[in-house]
Structure 1
C-alpha cells in the first residue's frame, strides 16, 4: 500500500463532475487504483458535502463527510455555467480518458457538456452518468436521494422489526451501490476501449442498482409473487440466523445448514430438538422460526457474549458480537487488516479515513492525496497541465470563473 507505488489505473485521467456521495464514491475508487482524478467544484461553495457538518476535523475545519470520500483527487474550482469555464472543460477533455458526472438528466446539455455533445469530438471518451433514475423512463427528470431510493427500491419494506415501521439502512447504501456499480461500468468500458479504441456512455440509475442488489429477497418475490415480510434481524431463508440476547448483551448466531445445527444441539444440551420434526431441517425451522427463537433464547441468555463467541468459534459455528463503531475500529482483526489509514491534509492536520478494501497483490490501492481543500490544485492543473500563465489564471479568478 505504498503511496509511491503505481496503481493499476496509473496513467488514466478522470474529469470528476460529481458531488455528494454516489459520484464521489465512484471517482475515489478510481483514484485509489491509481487514476489522476481532477475534481471540478463550484467557486467559493465547492462540493455540497464540505458543508455537511458537524463533525469536522478540528484543525482544517473540513467536514468528516467530505474527507471520507474525496481522497486522491485534485480540486479545481470552475464555473461551468459560463463559456470560459466550458472552454476549460474542453481543454481538460483533450487529455482525459473518463468523465464522471451526477447532474440531473439534461442539466449538462445546456452547457454543451452532455455525452451527445461530446462523443463526436472525443470518440475515446468514457462518460459515466450517475442519476437517481437513469437517463430514460418516466422518472428520469426526478432528483434522486438516498432515502428516497431506499424507499422506492423496496429495501425499507424489508428492514425493521416484524409489525414495526419500515426502516432505512443506517448508512446511505443506495448512494454507495450506485457509485460502485458506476466504477464497475467504467472499468468494463475501459477494457472495451482497449480492444476497439471506442468510448461509450455508462448510464447508472440509483433505482436500477437498488433493484439489482435486492438479491435473495428479490428472487424470493419473483419466484412467488409474494411480498417478503419484515423479519428484524432474522434471515428470510435460514434459521436460526439472527440476533439473540446473551447474559450481558446481544450476539449474532448464524447456523447456516443442518449439520451445523446438529453440532450446535449436541454440544449445548439440545439433543432432544434433533428428534423434533419441527427442528429437523432448515425449511422446517424457517416454517417454525418463532418456535426456534423462543426455544433457543433461554439457552443463549445463559452465557455472556464473549463466552458464546469462544465456545461457538471452537466448534466452527458462525457467531459474533454486535459491535458499536468504537468496537469495530478497536477490533484486532480490523486493525490487523489495516482498515484505517492516516493521511496528511493540506492544512497540516493528520486525518483518519477508512482504507480501500480491494486487496491487489501486485498493484494495491495507493493513498497519495488527502481530500483537497477547495481549489487546492487550481494552479497545478490550469498552469501546469493546461499551460495557462499566472496572469490568465488571475484574470479568471477576477471574473469568478475559478
Structure 2
C-alpha cells in the first residue's frame, strides 16, 4: 500500500506498478504514479541497480547521494532480480500476474529476448497496462537504435533551434526529452487504466524520446511548413510576439513579454519612452516582427538605464508579463516558492536531503515523496508476499 494512502493522492491506491525502467524517462513516469498513491515496485539489477544511483553524486550527511536517483524514486520499493536468470524471471512472472502496470525502457529487442515483452506478458495478464519507453519508437527504420536525452533533443529538431543565433546549437540542460516522455507515458497509462475500468481490457503503451520532442515542437513545425521560413536559433526570443525576450538591466537581466499592441504601448510608456509605440517601425505587431532587432535595441536602451527591480516594478504596475532571471540559489530563497510549499525533504537511505515536492496540487494538497529505497531493500518483503511458505530473503 502506498505511503500516500489516506490523502487526496490515494487515487491509485491498490494499483500495483512494476518499474523495470532506469535513469530518467521511465522512472519519472513511475514516480508520478507513486505520487498518486500507486504501489511501485522497482525491479533492479542485483549489485548494480538503476544506473542513476551512480549519477551526479553529492555528499549529504557525510554519505554519497545521487540527486538524480533520489528525485525520481522516492516512495518506491526496490526488489533485486537478475532477469537473465530463469529463476528470477519466474519470480517476475508472478509479480506480473498481480500487477496493473509495467514500465520498461530496455534497449530495443531485449524484452523480446528475455521473454518479457508486451505480447508475452499480456497473454499471462490481459488486464496489464504495458508501457515501453524507447528512443525512436517501436516501428520504422530506427526502431532498433538506442537513444538518450541529448539524442532525442538532437534528432527531434530541438537542439537545432536552441541557443544564440550564429553560435553552435545548445542542448536544453534540463533533460526535456526524457521528462516529456515520462509525462506522456504517465498520461497514456492513466488513460489506459481509465479505459480498463470501463472495458476490463489492458493496453500496450508506446512512448519514445523522438515522438515526445516532435510533439513539443508541434507549433514550430506547423509554422515552418506554412511559412516556408526555417527557424533560426533565437536565444531568449520566440516567434510569438515582439518584444518577447530577456533584456539587460543596469544590474542583471529581465524577461519581458509584451506580446500584443496594447501591451506594447503600456510597456513603452512604463519604461520611459511612450513615443516608441507610435514609431512606424514598431506601431503594430507585424511591423515589430519585421524590425525585431531594432525594437530590441530600443527596449534595451531603456532597461539598461534601470535596475532589475525598477524594471519589474514599472512593468508589474501595467500588467506586462515579466520576471527576473533567477539562479537556482535565488529561486530557493524566493518567498513565492515558500508560499507554494514547493520544497520539502526526503529520507535518502538514512540521510535527509532537500527535494522539490509534487508539481501540482489536488484539493489544495501537494504530494510528498516517501523514502528513497536502498538497493534491494524490499526484495525479501515482496517475495515473501508472493510465496509466504518459501521464506525467501534476498538482497
- Superposition TM-score tier, normalisation by shorter sequence: over 0.9
Q: How does 1:3-402 map to 2 (within 5 A)?
A: 3=4, 5-6=6-7, 7-347=10-350, 349-361=351-363, 364=365, 366-367=367-368, 369-387=370-388, 389-390=390-391, 392-393=392-393, 397=394
The 2-side partners of 1:169 and 1:341 are apart by 26
The 2-side partners of 1:365 and 1:307 are apart by 34
Q: 1:290 to 1:89 in 2, by over 3 A?
A: same
Q: Which stretch has the larger CA shift, 57-66 or 14-23?
A: 57-66
Q: TM-score, normalised by structure 2?
A: 0.95
Q: Tell me the C-alpha RMSD between the 2 structures.
A: 1.6
The 1-side partners of 2:137 and 2:79 are apart by 27
Aligned residue pairs, count: 391
The 2-side partners of 1:337 and 1:297 are apart by 32
Q: Which runs of 5+ in 2 are unaligned?
A: none
The 1-side partners of 2:178 and 2:17 are apart by 20
Shift of residue 148, structure 1, vs aligned partner: 0.9
Q: 1:388 to 1:175 in 2, by over 3 A?
A: farther
Shift of residue 90, structure 1, vs aligned partner: 0.9
The 2-side partners of 1:274 and 1:322 are apart by 26
Q: 1:185 to 1:4 in 2, by over 3 A?
A: closer
Shift of residue 53, structure 1, vs aligned partner: 3.0
- Report which structure shows greater RCO (CA 8 Å, sep ≥6): 1
> Secondary structure of the residue that 2:306 maps to in structure 1?
coil
Q: TM-score, normalised by structure 1?
A: 0.93
> Secondary structure of the residue that 1:279 maps to in structure 2?
coil
Q: Which digits, 9 at most, give the CA deviation of each residue in 1:224-258, with x for residues without a partner?
A: 23321111111212111011110111111111211
Q: Which runs of 5+ in 1 are unaligned?
A: none
